[in-house]
Amino acid sequence: MTVRVVLGAQFGDEAKGKIADYLAADARYVVRSGGGPNTGHTIGLPEGVVVLHQVSCGVLRTGVTAISGPGMVIQPFKLEEEILELERRGLRRGEILLSDRAHVILPLHELEDAWQDSLRAQRSPGSALGTTRSGIGPAYADRYARWGIRLGELSRPALLRERLELLYATKPEVPDLPPIDDLATRLAEVGSRLDPMIRATEPIIWGAIERGEPILLEGAQSALLDIDFGTYPYVTSSHPTSAGALMGSGIPPTELDAAIGVAKAYSTRVGAGPYPTEDTGERGEHLRRVGGERGATTGRPRRCGWLDLVLLRYAARLNGYTSLAITKVDVLGGMDEIPVCVAYRLPDGSTSRDAPPSRAEDLAKVEPVYATMPGWPEFHARAKERIRREGASALPSTLRRYLDFISEETGVPVEYVGYGAHRDETVTLGPPTVRRHRSAMTAWSG
């Protein structure tokens, strides 16, 4: 396959970085297609844990080119720090290219982000979004309002100054903006240092496609946080879907060969928003503790709960997943029984299996209908070593039954399983063989 995309299928933090890193071993280019420093892809290497924010995981592989694509919003000062830290640790092994079309997150965007979320909380305590305050939303807003500054413009001082003056004129209400002269100087300086990596990346990718070189698109955030199809307004500001990954990389849709959806064997969510299968009791705390569920970027504790097949079916339809990667199955090891949400009971007493409410307020009112699956043993070191040696045949039979249930319920085969935090703790079940089906859709009437 030439072009594959790895996408989050839940609310984020599904170990996409781990799966993307696993697949990057067979890639020539790894392209990050959207988002910015609000996400952290955590990868367990023999040298220790590394968290990538604005550089794709291709940077960790010799002979691979890591591209930060045109769909991203990039904070150049933090990007430079990230690259220098990779160099310090000896982990900058692949080439880094930055799209000249990617937009720049400015310090004023970070200030605006914090100001906006505080304003929401002051006006209505329940309306705060719980953003990372990384400037993502304001940067994308300026991008679409056509006030934005792109990476390729940092090397043009006169144009940069003109764009900054226009941008400052649009933000008279944002307090404590940095002096424009100081910011213009700092941007020009960092732009000159990054300039050798800034390129028109889409022709490079097109040439790779023509030569049949393998390309991996690395998604950030996840389908249920999509600005249009997620739990609006508790969403991100971009399109973390298969269509968004193509748009954010410059790859035509006809070139996509595979779309891999990544989901945990349970689920988590960071920040505010509806979460039907959240478990606020002891079992949810167990998932948080055993799974190490804290945000890689903010360190905030994640809300934890159970696998939601209604939302997973929806994400599969939306993205056209050709297979699934189910991660962190080891976190559920040792549990006698595992609940899985198979449907929603709606306020009128009816049930829905395929179509979640489009309004966040309505999604917050559904009652999950659970099926109970038998658990599997803990993943001790000996069990992990056996899986490394024997492959998928060494997975516990009850875990295989759990994975088969997910495939049957979604119509998408499980192709990869992550059973630990480290790079080599992933196993391939084999190429997709389950025939995809279309279950009857049930419409939501609000």
Catalytic residues: 13, 41
- DSSP annotation of 294: B
Residues 6+ away with beta carbon under 8 Å from 443 = 355
List the Cα angle 390/392/396 in 5-degree steps: 100
CA–CA separation, 129 and 146 (whole Å): 24
Does a cis peptide bond (omega within 30 degrees of 0) precede residue 233? Answer: yes
Measure Cα distances from 370 to 277, 317, 353 in Å. 9, 21, 12
CA nearest 210: which of 221, 202, 218?
202
Q: Which two tokens stand for residue 237?
A: 């500001």
Contact 366, 344 (CB under 8 A): yes
Q: Which DSSP category does 125 fall into?
A: G
d(Cα 94, Cα 25) in Å, to the nearest integer? 11
Pairing of strands 215-218, 29-32: parallel
Helix (H), strand (E) at residue 344: strand 337-345
- Which one, of 403, 256, 229, lies nearest residue 316 by Cα? 229
d(CA 167, CA 178): 13
- For residues 127 and 116, what is the distance between their CA atoms, to the nearest angstrom? 11
